[in-house]
Amino acid sequence: MQLYLMRHGEAGHEAKYDRERSLTESGLYHTALMSEWLKSTGVEFQLVLVSPYLRTQQTWQEVSKHFPEPRKCKVLNELVPAADPEMAARLVLAYAEQYQAENVLVLSHMPLLGYMVSELVPGMEPPLFATSSVALVDIVGRHTELMWQQTTHSIS
């Protein structure tokens, strides 16, 4: 299975609650840039799992413009910034198995994404995720490996 972990685009700070922060113009632009790069790799997602926060929903709206519709898209409360990384990782793997998805896109937040990588790839320190960045974790049986991590700066 190929697990693509993506952080939402840059968000403003003018919302009353963290969950209501929306993407900036720069956040939309960089998300579109990363989406085009991902599309150029030839990947298509069978399953997309998204945090309920506005900025991740808006990120998915932009990403979805660049890809065919996945078989399944789910909004999960377990993908919010302060969620339990072990539970989030297990849940993502369980949904991937349930929907027999080979390519899964997870749209979430820091610090959760970094900690999820540590849960999935034993012995790995949690990497930082810039906004709109993506990491690919390859899972074959019990073997997991972080294949790459890209930012909008590294692809342009």
pTM: 0.97
Residue ranges of domains in the chain: 2-154
* pLDDT of amino acid 88: 98
- The CATH architecture assigned to 2-154 reads 3-Layer(aba) Sandwich (3.40)
Question: Tell me: the pLDDT tens digits for 69-94?
Answer: 999 999 999 999 999 999 999 999 99
What is the phi-psi region of residue 66: left when phi exceeds 0, alpha when psi lies from -120 to 50, beta otherwise?
alpha
Taking 90 as the threshold, does the pLDDT of residue 3 lie above it? yes
Distances in Å between the Cα of 143 and the Cα atoms of 56, 138, 139, 140, 147 are: 29, 8, 6, 5, 12
